[in-house]
Each structure stands twice: as C-alpha cells, then as structure tokens.
Amino acid sequence: MGTKIVSVTIERHYSKQATIEVEVDENLVGEELKDFLRESEEIDDLLEASLYERNLDGDDTIYEYQDTENNDGGHL
C-alpha cells in the first residue's frame, strides 16, 4: 500500500464583545439616536476602552481536508 499527501486545514475566528451603558437625552429617538451614538467620540472611546479589557473568545473551529489526488475534500 502506497502513501499520498492530504492537506488538513484548521480555521478559528476570535471575537471580543463589550457592552456599555450611556446616558442620553430622552428626546433622542430613531435616526437621531443612531446618529448620536455613531458620531459620539466619547462613546467610541468608552467602547474601545471596554473592548480592550475583554478577552478574546474562540468561536467555532472548522476543520477541512483536501485530497487532490482523488478530487475529494470537505469538512471533517
């Protein structure tokens, strides 16, 4: 029995998530609220600081193989 080369790949994505609470004017709603939240440098700084303190979490890991000799491959 002979041998052959088969490629095996692993793929894992990492993510961070942080939530902050901010006090806003009660009259801000809908698009105005979205615009305020998007454009506020203070909120952006708070989010970045909060995110910096969080650990990376590993998401689902994907394993794949490729057998080029037999034109076969897929997820393990």
Nearest to 10 by CA among 49, 57, 48, 60: 60
Place of tokens 């689902």: 60
Average pLDDT for 67-71: 84
Tens digit of each residue's pLDDT (9 = 90 or more) over 32-51: 999 999 999 999 999 999 99
* Average pLDDT over the chain, rounded to an integer: 89
Looking at the predicted structure, is the pLDDT value of residue 30 above 80? Answer: yes
Which pLDDT band, with edges at 50, 70 and 90, does 67 fall under?
A: confident
Q: How many CA atoms lie within 13 A of 58 on its CB side?
A: 6
pLDDT reading at 70 higher than 90: no
